[in-house]
Structure 1
């Protein structure tokens, strides 16, 4: 394990300085001496570190005062030096227990008796590492702070919504290419290939989640995507995807019909569009998420089995474009207040008379909401 001293003064980016200041205020309110964050979204949000090496243990420790410390695999040294040279960097070699590096980093900056917040409900803090930290640093107290940054990240700045807008443009380009490719007899993988080509050509990065492309007959298999199945005339195809720019996402989905639309498709499309319009009208500052869901549900005529009609999006790394395992959804009875600057993937999903989904990314504005994605929403048939 090695420790390198910071090369320049701490983080110069004013927006990231403001994020650090706000986080420290939240830490003070919770009585935390430091936080140890492990989700790639939070590491990126605070430091700007953008890479795929987070599959190996990565942790940023932010003390109440002083510079942050970043713990990574030794192989990531060049990336860290290039992207965040001002951060104190602690590394572990292949074959070394990453917990040892984390222990040394924490011992270096957290005094005995301090309280450390950790992302105990996140996906990137192995229980074995947390157990080792507790065993090696018995004089410290440990509390869960998984949601500490949630409210800050939920409301995007003007800079962030700018990236979301660009991501929406990438999403539109990819969706239009996918729809064009969804001709009768084409394989689902050809549709997937078209979306990826357009996504990258339009300036998009690798998204946090792959495009979801499957027949409407498999609509309920919510996280299943393309295969070699040919597109059959009259059988709907569900396409859900998101462009990604600077790790910000703007998902959308459409249901298209190769050849012709079957009986019931027009009615299903009209109900889905009515639901999207109702949710869009309801989504405004000050309303509660449960009220938005109720407006959507009334417009589509029930659908009590659907668990949400949208969810918050923003920074995301694989395996998700929602930024972690906990999703702020627009759910029945939801009591989260909608605030200007939030970006939701607003979904209208119906199952009768046939399955049909239409969705867009929606930015909450001062007086309502704006749909960032713009691909035609009407019933689409590909000849």
Structure 2
């Protein structure tokens, strides 16, 4: 550890940590964490990997850290985890220079399975702090200087961390262990499935609240803010609320808050996607359309076809089915029926990540598996109509179970 992080200062604030433990909403049980750790360690043993290194800086698509620690990475602040096959974790996170927390027995009510939590005030916007997290992570990896180190989620790991540890341990063997962890992480336990169902219940309420509030004169973002307020009161921590409006019969696409300034008018179509995490951190997503007035017969007919397109996909979400084959057959179905083929992502897994494997797409090697959480959202413009529907399903041994969301499968007419 270099001088810049200061002399280590041990902090054993059991009272404070106990207080924090009471403040955490919907913590994952220790038994569930132990199940995850055991499953990953068994996979590491089979692959001859001695230790994992991961780093996330947000909890929209940074679920690896959350999966191992039950603590999210947020706000662009990096959280780095060293997960040995034969020892407790080392965690590096935001905090005072030189601070070290060593939970007695590896558990202080918030940090669980953790030998040491090392802290440093680093910021991605200040280039000279780039080595700080890397140096502390290297201290956790020191016992594995000649071992096999698996990098998890390298897409989100900073180049500073990856470059530093490779230079610090030239005799180590580095491998990508993302796929290894994904194969465990995508399979949901009973506890995780209940969190997923609760997220869907929350989104049903958020959509109802938004459609109850919508009226001419509001801006798109103001309607989305109603859904956000409902969700935050329910216990959501992060997520996105995509929305957009246009005169009915005009092709358009929804967007983030930055594009939510349009004022709604009588007769407009409005679309809203609530894609956020419920209490406990699991993601689902719900998407619907409404009309400030009456929906045209053309809109209703197109929505009926959208439901048919979703059913076409659901019939193929059976364990063992290759993701690429579903993608190809879905696009052939769309083209055959005069609709545009999908070129982005219309069906995928969800969990601690807003988008999780498998992706139903040509480039996904994962087949469909039981115990995964899959969202289906065919979305397209055709004949001047923007049409879509979005709901989640848990995949069972024979295919999708019941739709998790209970919001009606309709175009809601307002007024």
Q: What TM-score comes out, normalization by structure 1 length?
A: 0.85
C-alpha displacement of 1:116: 0.8
- Give 1:52's match in structure 2, choosing from 51, 71, 74: 74
Contact 2:241 2:256 in 1 (8 A): no
- How far, CA to CA, are the matches of 1:113 and 1:352 in structure 2? 58
Contact 2:379 2:387 in 1 (8 A): yes
- Give 1:311's match in structure 2, choosing from 338, 343, 348: 348
Structure-2 change in CA distance of 1:88 and 1:4 (3 Å): farther
C-alpha displacement of 1:79: 12
Contact 1:311 1:330 in 2 (8 A): yes
Alignment of 1:194-343 (within 5 A): 194-201=226-233, 203-207=234-238, 209-215=239-245, 219-220=252-253, 227-243=260-276, 244-262=278-296, 264-293=298-327, 296-297=330-331, 300=334, 301=337, 302-316=339-353, 321-322=354-355, 327-332=357-362, 336-343=366-373
Q: Residue by residue, what CA displacement relative to the aligned partner does 1:315-345 show, whole Å, maximum 9, x if unpaired?
A: 13xxxx225xxx5322258553212211111
C-alpha displacement of 1:277: 2.4
Q: How many equivalent residue pairs?
A: 367
C-alpha displacement of 1:352: 0.9
- How far, CA to CA, are the matches of 1:314 and 1:358 in structure 2? 20
- How far, CA to CA, are the matches of 2:153 and 2:202 in structure 1? 34
- How far, CA to CA, are the matches of 1:166 and 1:380 in structure 2? 23
C-alpha displacement of 1:59: 1.5
Structure-2 change in CA distance of 1:253 and 1:194 (3 Å): same
Contact 2:146 2:169 in 1 (8 A): no
Structure 2 counterpart SS, 1:314: coil
Structure 2 counterpart SS, 1:66: coil
C-alpha displacement of 1:285: 2.6
Structure-2 change in CA distance of 1:280 and 1:224 (3 Å): farther
Structure-2 change in CA distance of 1:280 and 1:225 (3 Å): farther
Contact 1:57 1:73 in 2 (8 A): yes
C-alpha displacement of 1:34: 0.9
Contact 1:296 1:348 in 2 (8 A): no
Residue 355 of structure 1 corresponds to which residue in structure 2? 386
C-alpha displacement of 1:128: 1.7
Residue 67 of structure 1 corresponds to which residue in structure 2? 88
Residue 403 of structure 2 corresponds to which residue in structure 1? 371
Structure-2 change in CA distance of 1:116 and 1:333 (3 Å): closer
Residue 19 of structure 2 corresponds to which residue in structure 1? none
- How far, CA to CA, are the matches of 2:119 and 2:90 in structure 1? 13
Residue 220 of structure 2 corresponds to which residue in structure 1? 188
Structure-2 change in CA distance of 1:99 and 1:204 (3 Å): same
Residue 30 of structure 1 corresponds to which residue in structure 2? 47
Q: What TM-score comes out, normalization by structure 2 length?
A: 0.79
Contact 1:5 1:88 in 2 (8 A): no
C-alpha displacement of 1:226: 5.2
Q: Residue by residue, what CA displacement relative to the aligned partner does 1:14-64 show, whole Å, maximum 9, x if unpaired?
A: 3222221221222223322211121341122122224637x3332211222
- How far, CA to CA, are the matches of 2:223 and 2:39 in structure 1? 44
- How far, CA to CA, are the matches of 2:117 and 2:365 in structure 1? 41
Q: Does 1:100 align with 2:135?
A: yes
Contact 1:156 1:342 in 2 (8 A): yes
